[in-house]
């Protein structure tokens, strides 16, 4: 059974960098069948996708956060990481890590790869406050 | 970017009722639409992928339908454990987008 677990500081000061680790067990992040992603949810709000990383190290980010986000991975430790710089109170949220199952669709325009979040961590609340 | 409009934002129903939630995309997304359940204080859980495929282990009272821009999610007979917020999600042009969510309550 695949499990994901977020860890990192729960309190971050404004203007500093938020850093989180996602540790994956029961499956390898080196598998080419998946992306590894971060999603966040502010209190009482909906879900916001932050970004994803592939086993190759290739990344994609939400354009709304792209200038402040870095996602990386360490295959030897089966972990991937989130760094969000220059945080403000608006970045206070529950942060989830999740596995994205990659699905290939053959269309008239060629191969389209979509995906869905099939395993999630329990989430960790990060508060930005001085 | 493709926008997802989910409705209603909240819904009250009785045990045993048939419940339907809709999600509309601003552009054709084929059938690349997924549905999640989020119980209070918990992480979201995948229920339906590619519009109509039931994830392994998910009860058959949950179903999804649609293609193009209009999608529906149905619970055929509402159970007490179905109290949750439900989200649709699509993927397009390197961006994953969730609907605003539908909070389902027991009447």
pLDDT of A66 reads 95
Q: Which of A46, A63, A118 sits opposite B100 (nearest CB)?
A: A46
Residue pair A95/A42 in contact by the 8 Å Cβ criterion: no
Q: What are phi and psi of B40, to 5 degrees?
A: -55, 130
Mean pLDDT of A3-27: 97
Contacts for A70 with CB less than 8 Å, ≥ 6 apart? A59, A82, A83, A85
Q: Are strands B19-25 and B33-38 parallel, antiparallel or unpaired?
A: unpaired
B107 or A68: whose pLDDT is higher?
A: A68
B12: pLDDT strictly greater than 80: yes
Contacts for A86 with CB less than 8 Å, ≥ 6 apart? A15, A17, A68
Chain B residue numbers with beta carbons less than 8 Å from the beta carbon of A52 are 96
Q: Does B96 contact A49 at a Cβ distance shorter than 8 Å?
A: yes
pLDDT of B44 reads 98
How does pLDDT run across A14-25, given as a tens digit for each residue?
A: 999 999 999 999
Chain A residue numbers with beta carbons less than 8 Å from the beta carbon of B95 are 49, 60, 62-63
pLDDT of B1 reads 80
DSSP code per residue over chain A: --EEEEES-SEE-TTS-EEEEEEEESS-TT-TTEEEEEEEE-TT---EEEEEEETTS-EEE-TTTGGGEEEEEETTTTEEEEEE-S--GGG-EEEEEEEEEEEEEEETTEEEEEEEEEEE---EEEEE--
Give percent of chain B above pLDDT 90: 89
Chain B residue numbers with beta carbons less than 8 Å from the beta carbon of A122 are 42-43
Confidence class for position A113, pLDDT limits 50, 70, 90: confident
Extract the tokens encoding A27. Answer: 């499956």
Q: Does B44 contact A105 at a Cβ distance shorter than 8 Å?
A: no
How does pLDDT run across B58-101, given as a tens digit for each residue?
A: 999 999 999 999 999 999 999 999 999 999 999 877 789 999 99
How does pLDDT run across A53-104, given as a tens digit for each residue?
A: 999 999 999 999 999 999 999 999 999 999 999 999 999 999 999 999 998 8
Q: What is the 3-state secondary structure (H, E, C) of B17-62?
A: CCEEEEEEECCCCCCCEEEEEECCCCCCEEEEECCCEECCCCCCCE
pLDDT of A107 reads 84
């Amino acid at each position: 059974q695949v499990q994901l677990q977020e860890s990192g500081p729960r309190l971050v000061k404004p203007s500093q960098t938020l850093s989180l680790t996602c540790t994956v067990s029961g499956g390898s992040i080196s598998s080419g069948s998946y992306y590894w992603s971060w999603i966040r949810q502010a209190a009482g709000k909906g879900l916001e996708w932050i970004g994803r990383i592939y086993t190759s190290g290739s990344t994609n980010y939400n354009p709304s956060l792209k200038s402040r986000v870095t996602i990386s991975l360490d295959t030897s430790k089966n972990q991937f990481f989130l760094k969000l710089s220059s945080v403000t109170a608006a970045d206070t949220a529950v942060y989830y890590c999740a596995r994205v199952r990659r699905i290939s669709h053959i269309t008239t325009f060629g191969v389209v790869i979509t995906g869905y979040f099939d395993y999630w961590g329990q989430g960790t609340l990060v508060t930005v406050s001085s | 970017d493709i926008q997802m409009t989910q409705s209603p934002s909240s819904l009250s129903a009785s045990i045993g009722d048939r419940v339907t939630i809709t999600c509309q995309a601003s552009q054709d997304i084929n059938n690349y639409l997924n549905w999640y359940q989020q119980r209070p204080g918990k992480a979201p859980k995948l229920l339906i992928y590619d519009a109509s495929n039931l994830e392994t282990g998910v009860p058959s009272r949950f179903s999804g339908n649609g293609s193009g821009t209009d999608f529906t999610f149905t619970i055929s007979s509402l159970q007490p454990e179905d109290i949750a917020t439900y989200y649709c999600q699509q993927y397009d042009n390197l961006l994953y987008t969730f609907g605003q969510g539908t909070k389902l309550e027991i009447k």
